[in-house]
Every structure is written in C-alpha cells, then in structure tokens.
Amino acid sequence: MNLQALADQLEKKVDCQVSVHVPMKNFTTWRVGGPAELMINPHHIEDIENGVLFAKEYGLPITVIGNGSNLLILDGGIRGLVIKLGEFKDVSQKGDLITAEAGVMLPVLSRMACNASLSGLEFAVGIPATLGGALVMNAGAFGQDMGSLVQEVETIDYQGNQQRLSKDELSFSYRTSSLARQELIILRTVLRFDPADKEEIAARMKENKARRTRIQPMGLPSAGSVFRNPSQNYAGRLIEELGLKGQRIGDAMVSTKHGNFIINCGCATGGEILTLIKTIQERVYEQKEIILVPEVLIIGEEG
C-alpha cells in the first residue's frame, strides 16, 4: 500500500488531517529535516489512540514531537507516523498544583505559574519547548529542572493503553528520565509548585531571560545546548578552549557567542549539523579524552 493510500485509511479513523511527505524542517527550531512519511496533529486523545493502533496494524514506526526544539532530524526524513502534540494545550490550576497537557509551551506555563504566585518554573521562561518534551528529557537550567515539580504523568503507550504514573513510579536525572526509555506518549501532567511572592518570581524570570540573551545566540535557528555537560566541566568551555567557536561546515556553525550552540546560518542540512557534531566530539576526545554526549535527539535517516 502506498503512502497516500495509507493516509486515506488513517483519515477514516482520526478526526484530524493526515499529511503525507511533510518537510520536517518546518517543525524544528534548527529548521532542518527531511520529510515525514505520515503526520497527524491530533486534538483529542482518541485520535492518538487510533493513530498508534493504526501504526501497530500496519507496522509503522511512531515518532512523537512537540515544538522540535531539541531535535536534529536528518535529511532522509522519518519513516512511519509522526504524531505532533501541539494542540494539547489545556491548563488548569488549583492551589499549588497545575495540571497541563503535553503541548503547552514552557514559557506560557512559566508565566501562568507566576501570575498564580507559584514558584518553580522561573528557569523555563526562555526554553522554547513543549511540556511533554521537557519532561522526557528533564529540561532544566540555572540549577532547576522539570523532574522536581512532577507529581503525576498521564500517558498512552504504543498499544493504545492509558495509564497514570505517580512521581514514585518515575525517575529523573540530568537531561533524561525513565519516560525516555519507554514507548509512551505523554498526555498531561500534574506539577506541584511553591507559593511565593509574584513580584519576586517575575524578577527571577526577568533575570533568567536577560542572562540567556547575554550568553546565548538568539537571532538564528538552533536547538539550544547540543551536548550534555560532562562531570565537573562544561561542554561549551571545552569547545571554546579548543578554538572551535566559529567552526563551520556548510551553513552549520559553532556559535561565536556560546560554544555549545550550533546555529543554522542559512540553509544548513541535517547532515552538515551531524558532521559538525561528530567533528566536535572527535576533537574534544583527541585533546581532552572526554566523550561529549549529545543532549539533542538525533532521529530520522541520513539523506
């Protein structure tokens, strides 16, 4: 069965558009990535359930994305079904708890918490990620992270089974979580905050945003920090010490402002960014005997 025929079959089972050969560069902050064979942007949990069951029936791989802010999608694109969770944006607050769906952007959630005089997400005001992706990778900054806020996560697995996981059933560590090692799609989560003075929260958010502007490149497409910081060191510092700032392959360049950022200077490809990542890893290992592990997720097929 060809892709259009598959799309026609899937459209009978979901209440959303099914797109074919979708250029993923339009859905990543790096602005690179080959085509996804099939993609849906569901509005309802039933559409996710029907989508994953359809993929299982036809043997299609499943890829879930949010805002694409931590993804390097290669030029050959993504096989199977991509499920984008951008429409899952419901948020509610009760006391010191906020319940939010996976597609809510972190800056939106951060400002909502501030307006409710709830502290804990000040670090996230400048992170262009959705809540779901931020939970999977345990996004963090300035000594704080998502995992410390989580009380409960509601998920659906690739067989269509829904479940609730309490914080005691989850584990979070530096830039990863137990959620990353399972075939689960995050639907919503409950976060617990600390009540605090709204003006003090707003001041911390303003300071964090200003700090990001000072030390990070903001004007060109990137995916944030490319590498995890190794123990007792910083990836950006190691890259700078080796004189790799400004290193360029095609339109992919190590930022001259922050060594742990690779920016797209125009028409970079996924292959150029991947080659630059590997070049940095090789140079750092040769000179420092330190293995830099990518923080970004590298998915898809090479062109």
How much is the pLDDT for 181?
A: 79
How much is the pLDDT for 72?
A: 98
Q: Which residues contact 94 (CB under 8 A, 6 or more apart)?
A: none
241 is catalytic: no
CA 270, CA 252: separation in Å to the nearest integer? 9
Angle value at C-alpha 12, between 8 and 13, nearest 5 degrees: 120
117 is catalytic: no
Architecture of domain 3-84 in this structure = 2-Layer Sandwich (3.30)
Q: What's the pTM?
A: 0.95
Angle value at C-alpha 145, between 99 and 162, nearest 5 degrees: 40
How much is the pLDDT for 200?
A: 98
- Whether the pLDDT of residue 303 is over 90: the answer is no
In the chain, CATH 3.90.78.10 sits at: 217-299
Is the torsion defined by CA of 83, 222, 269, 294 positive or negative?
negative
Query: What are the residues facing 72 on neighbouring strands?
Result: 298
pLDDT tens string 15-27:
999 999 999 999 9
Among residues 222, 225, 255, 272, the one annotated as catalytic is 225
How much is the pLDDT for 136?
A: 96
- Whether the pLDDT of residue 143 is over 90: the answer is no
Share of the chain above pLDDT 90, in %: 97
Mean pLDDT of 115-134: 96
Among residues 175, 188, 255, 272, the one annotated as catalytic is 175
In the chain, CATH 3.30.43.10 sits at: 3-84
Task: Give whole-number Cα distances, 32 to 64, 264, 290, in Å.
Answer: 17, 8, 28
- Residue 255's pLDDT band, with cuts at 50, 70 and 90, is very high
C-alpha 75, offset from chain centre: 19
175 is catalytic: yes
pLDDT tens string 200-239:
999 999 999 999 999 999 889 999 999 999 999 999 999 9
CA 5, CA 160: separation in Å to the nearest integer? 23
In the chain, CATH 3.30.465.10 sits at: 91-214
Q: Please state whether 292 falls in left (phi above 0), alpha (psi between -120 and 50) or beta.
A: beta
The domain defined by 217-299 folds into 3.90.78
Enter the DSSP assignment of 277. H
Which token pair is 22?
């979708």
**Half-sphere exposure of residue 110: CA atoms within 13 angstroms, side-chain side:** 25
- Residue 69's pLDDT band, with cuts at 50, 70 and 90, is very high
How much is the pLDDT for 52?
A: 98
CA 97, CA 79: separation in Å to the nearest integer? 38
Looking at residue 94, its amino acid is K
How much is the pLDDT for 293?
A: 97
Which token pair is 129?
């990620």
pLDDT tens string 88-115:
999 999 999 999 999 999 999 999 999 9
How much is the pLDDT for 100?
A: 98
| Average confidence score pLDDT of the chain | 96
- Whether the pLDDT of residue 53 is over 80: the answer is yes
Q: Does domain 91-214 have CATH number 3.30.465.10?
A: yes
3-state SS of 216-259? CCCCCCCCCCCECCCCCCCHHHHHHHCCCCCCEECCEEECCCCC
CA 260, CA 294: separation in Å to the nearest integer? 10
Which helix (H) or strand (E) is 53 found in, with range?
helix 45-58
Looking at residue 113, its amino acid is A
